[in-house]
Structure formats: structure tokens, C-alpha cells
Amino acid sequence: MPTANSDASNQQGIVLLRHGELVPNPEHRFIGQRDVELSSAGTARFEALGEELAREFADRQPQAFFCSDLRRGIACADIVRRAFRPRGGTMPVIADPGFREINLGAWQGLTKQEVEQRYPGALAERGADFANYAPAGGESFAMLQRRALMALVRARMHTPTGIIFVIGHAAFNRCILADYLALPLSEAMNIAQPYGAVSFLEQR
């Protein structure tokens, strides 16, 4: 399990996961906050990951599971919760819109080619100021990072002790990890976040 701290099971902290693989997107349309479902393969792989995590954290079980209110987040949180049987059935899954993926606004559902046609130069503008550029009606990475950190504060206020699991999204998790690792947001995209990525954030 790739972690920020490998001795995770004996400490308080946050287990940060990215959701599983989604249904095919062959045209590579921007997803953002579109409510896309897991694929059958993504569900199966996340079930296997849940079992692995349940074994790894058998002596220090999570106190709660947090996710966005998007279906892919809720599904993955419930998969992991059920893996911690029998106690998992009594632990809450808390869906909070603050844990959603970045809002790409008018770009959501479009291909890069369509974005360039409708908003000429927008992709280049984003590339030149990755942290601060926001698509029309959407969020910049800086805006997302503020939202993500506030969501973690709410999670810790709800469950102040022990380990909590957070099932997040690619950009969401990169913003959390960039803050945790004291990296500038301009480097956030260098943080690997494949489907099912797992990181342990030691309590500070």
C-alpha cells in the first residue's frame, strides 16, 4: 500500500483513497463533478482493496468513512466499510459535498477539442496558471484545495480521534496531499493518483 507513512496501522490519522475505476470514457470527456458510476471491474478491484485494508487495519479499525455525495464515492466508501465486517456494519458512511471532485464548470462533459472550439485559448490559460485558473462556472485548484481542507476539518470535528477513511477523487486527493507534503499546487499533478490509490496521513 503506498503511504505517506508506512507504519499506518499503529497511529491515528486519515487513510485517503481514490475511488475505483469508472465506466469507460473512450472520448476522454472531462468528468469533474459529473455523477459517473464505477465499472464492474472497478467495483471488483475496490472490493479486493477493501479486504486488503481490512486485514492491514485489523488491530486499528476506522471510526468512520467519509466520501463525496457522488455515486462513485458512496459506492467505494460502502465497499470498504463492509470489508471491515462484522463491525463495519455499525460504522457510518458520511457523504459530504465538500469531498467532491473539482468542479470543471462548463468544461464538464466536453472533450479537449470541444473546449478549445468553444473557449479558444482556455486550455493554454489553465496550463499557464494551473493553480488559479478556473473554467467558466468551475473551480481552480486553489479553490478546490480550500474546500478540501475544510472538508477534512469537518471530518475531524465529527470524529476527533482514531483512524478515519476518506474516499476522494484524483484532483481532490492531489490538493490534500500537496498541502500535507508542503508542495506548491503547481506540482500537484505530479502526485500519482491512479484508481484505488491509498495514502496514510499521520495526525499532526
CB proximity list for 107: less than 8 A, separation 6 or greater: 30, 32, 115, 119, 122, 135, 136, 138
- 73 annotated ligand-binding residue: no
Parallel, antiparallel, or unpaired for β 198-202 and 13-18? antiparallel
Q: Give yes or no: 158 in active site.
A: no
27 labelled as ligand-binding?
no
**Residue 62 labeled ligand binder:** no
Point out the catalytic residue in the list 19, 51, 116, 139.
19
List, as own/partner pairs, every contact residues 126-135 make where C-beta atoms lie below 8 angstroms and the sequence separation is at least 24, other chains included.
130/185, 130/186, 130/188, 130/189, 131/184, 131/185, 131/186, 131/188, 134/105, 135/104, 135/105, 135/106, 135/107
Burial class (CB in 10 A: 0-12, 13-18, 19+), 59: exposed
- HSE-CB at 188 with a 13 A cutoff on CA atoms is 24
Annotated binding-site residue? 24: yes
Pick the closest to residue 164 from 43, 8, 21, 38 (CA basis).
Answer: 8
19 is known as an active-site residue:
yes
71 among annotated binding-site residues: no
The active-site residue, picked from 28, 51, 101, 114, is: 101
Total residues found in the chain within this entry: 204
Nearest CA to 187 out of 200, 197, 178 is that of 178
Report whether 103 belongs to an annotated binding site: no
The response to whether 72 counts as a known ligand-binding position is yes
**Residue 88 marked in a binding site:** no
Is 18 annotated in a binding site? The answer is yes
Q: Tell me if 22 is assigned to a ligand binding site.
A: yes
**Binding site for substrate, residues?**
18-25, 72, 112
Catalytic residue numbers read 19, 101
**Binding site, residues?**
18-25, 72, 112
